[in-house]
Each structure stands twice: as C-alpha cells, then as structure tokens.
Amino acid sequence: MSRTPPPLHIKICGLTRASDVEVAVAAGADMIGLNFVPGSSRRIDVALARTLVRAARGRVEVVGVVADLDSLEVQALLTDVGLDRVQLHGDERPEVLGALGPRAFKALRVGSAEDVALAAQYGGDLLLVDARVPGKQGGTGVRVDPSLVVELARVRRLLLAGGLDPDNVAEAVRGVRPWGVDVASGVESAPGIKDERKVRVFVDEARRAAQEAADAADGASGA
C-alpha cells in the first residue's frame, strides 16, 4: 500500500482577470501569482490586484511578483494590496530578502551550475527556480535543465518554473521531485488570459505525476 505523498503545491501565475481566479481555484491550484513587474505582458495595477485578491481571499494563496524594489516598497505593496507573499524575481541582494522575512521568497534564474550555487546565499523556506534567458525576467516558456536543480530540490523547498505546460509537467515532476510547480504562459490562450482546459489538465497531470513518483519511491524502499 502506498503512503500519501507530500502535497505538490501548484501556482498559476500571471493572472489578470477575476474569472481566471475562479478557474485556478476550481482546478485545485494552491497559489496564484499577480505580476507587478514593469514591461511584463501580465503586469497589473494595484486597483485590479485588490479586486483579484478579494476574489481569492481564503480560497487560494496570493503571491505578488516584483523585481528590484527595495524592502520598503515591497512591504508597502504587501500591505496595500493584501498579498499573502511576495516573489522577488529580479536581481535582489540577499539582504532584501532577509529584511522582508517569511512572507518573501527569491526567484533564481538558472542556466548553469554557477547560478544554482547562488541559492546558498538566499535563506527562507522556499526558493523558485526559473530558466535564465538574457534580457528576460520570466514568463519566457524556456525550461530549466532538470539536471541542474534535482539535487537542490532534495535540500530546499523548490518551486519549479520555466516552460512548464500540460504536456511536460508530469515529466518535470517525476524528474526533479520539486515542492511545487509554477506555470504562466503554458496554460494561456494569450498573455495573461488563462485557458480553463489547460489549467485543469496541468493541475491533474502534475498531481498524477507526484503520486506516481511517491508510489515508485515506496516500491523501491520496500523491495
């Protein structure tokens, strides 16, 4: 008999519509992401963010995605919008993360072992990894090389992002065994517009793979 696996946490990022909050909640997502990064096609303003937070409150955790703000600006956004957490997706120094405490986590863009080594500089209970693409801060649709992060996933709560979609998320979950997965463009019909079927299939495939990985581990330990 297989044991219940540790829960896989699923974040649907880059929401821009209240209807997509409903889609994410109905599909069984654990977190949604609201983008405040200038230049992003999924960026929203504070007024819309407050509306989406009200729609999500008590149903799913709301994460704000920011880049290169100082700690006072991030704290103000957390309070003003009513976010649960904030994701630092720029080139923030470890001191900024430390000043914000447990409601913040770092997103690390990785394309080499040297990038992965930077994880040791950032504390906290959660770390997101995304693919490094020159000139881009995320939402690129480019996948992270699993060989770069599989060991990191064994020692950190790792939220795996980068090029995930309903067709490849199961493979990524089995290969990396992350704490969670994060998707934006992979479940969209257009930037910021979520596709209900893609969101549902993504969540189902991710959870199925997590269960299969747990069953395989149980079988190996009992052999």
| Closest among 88, 85, 17, 10 to 49, alpha carbons compared | 17
Quick check: is 13 catalytic?
Answer: yes
Contacts (Cβ under 8 Å, ≥6 apart) of 160:
128, 129, 144, 149, 153, 172, 176, 178, 180, 181, 182
Give pLDDT, residue 215: 84
Question: What does the pLDDT look like over 24-72, one tens digit per residue?
Answer: 999 999 999 999 999 999 999 999 999 999 999 999 999 999 999 999 9
**What sign does the dihedral 156-184-30-102 (CA atoms) show?**
positive
**pLDDT tens digits for range 112-160:** 999 999 999 999 889 999 998 666 655 567 899 999 999 999 999 999 9
User: Is residue 165 annotated as a catalytic residue, yes or no?
Assistant: no
Residue 77 has pLDDT above 60, yes or no: yes
Q: For residue 56, what are the contacts with CB-CB under 8 A and spacing of at least 6?
A: 21, 25, 32, 62
State the catalytic residue, choosing from 68, 80, 130, 204.
130
pTM: 0.92
Per-residue tokens: 153: 């996933």
Choose the catalytic residue: 13, 20, 165, 182: 13
In the chain, the domains with their CATH numbers are 9-217 (3.20.20.70)
